[in-house]
A and B are shown apart, each in its own frame.
Chain A
Amino acid sequence: NAGVTQTPKFQVLKTGQSMTLQCAQDMNHEYMSWYRQDPGMGLRLIHYSVGAGITDQGEVPNGYNVSRSTTEDFPLRLLSAAPSQTSVYFCASMTGDGYTFGSGTRLTVV
């Protein structure tokens, strides 16, 4: 039982490049979400999903796309990376008391 697995752990992108942050959970949780953590800002919700085929926007969705084709996977796509997207990204799936978070992806856009 691995919990929530995020890949990669680190990534450097050039402005304008695209990439997908992967997230997988093996707990059969319906709810999954993506947060970004920035200094002095706490964690902010990007997108979330309440089940396969259903996604919705959070507080800071611009520049990001998501899809949920299976219960297990919830990838986050950056279509054209910008320096403002430099951040630490956390994927999470929901337990009874709250979310179980992955260990994060540190993304730098230069």
Chain B
Amino acid sequence: DQQVKQNSPSLSVQEGRISILNCDYTNSMFDYFLWYKKYPAEGPTFLISISSIKDKNEDGRFTVFLNKSAKHLSLHIVPSQPGDSAVYFCAASYNFGNEKLTFGTGTRLTIIP
């Protein structure tokens, strides 16, 4: 039972345009959401997070939107750069600081120069 789903295994975007990565979850108890970025042969690195009390969090080129009623979150990257090419995982936990994360299956983003 996949509680966190990323339905797009891959996405290609032109450099300079907006990249939108989507994530859906089924467990309404999830309260805190994170995005991780992963390059080949490296561990995932934390990108941005959002608490369920917010509907938007922004950090530079990265913005995460949360729609609790739809159990949906999205990561916007604008403008997209070649270095953004990586696999992106969304993850959820029951509260901030909880040690147990549930990950989605990942979306491979390719930025086309």
Contact = CB atoms under 8 A, between A and B. Distances in A.
Interface of A: 4, 31, 33, 35, 40-45, 48, 50, 58-59, 90, 92, 94-104
A58 B36 contact: no
A41 B43 contact: no
Chain A interface, DSSP helix/strand/loop, else mixed: strand
B89 A4 contact: no
A44 B103 contact: yes
Given A42-B4, A97-B34, A103 B105 contact: no
Given A42-B106, A104-B41, A99 B46 contact: yes
Nearest to A6: B43
Nearest to B48: A97
A39 to B, nearest CB: 9
B47 to A, nearest CB: 9
Chain B interface, DSSP helix/strand/loop, else mixed: loop
Contacts of A92: 43
A33 to B, nearest CB: 6
Interface in B12-67: 34, 36, 41-46, 49
Nearest to B6: A42
Contacts of B100: 33, 45, 48, 58
Given A31-B99, A45-B100, A50-B99, A102 B43 contact: yes
B49 A97 contact: yes
B78 interface: no
Given A99-B44, A101-B45, A103-B43, 4 more contacts: A45-B100, A45-B102, A96-B97, A103-B41
A78 to B, nearest CB: 20
A28 to B, nearest CB: 16
A96 B38 CA distance: 19
Contacts of A95: 46
Interface string B78-111: 0000000000010100000101111111100000
Contact of A40 (B4, B89, B97, B105): B105
A98 B101 contact: yes
A4 B102 CA distance: 20
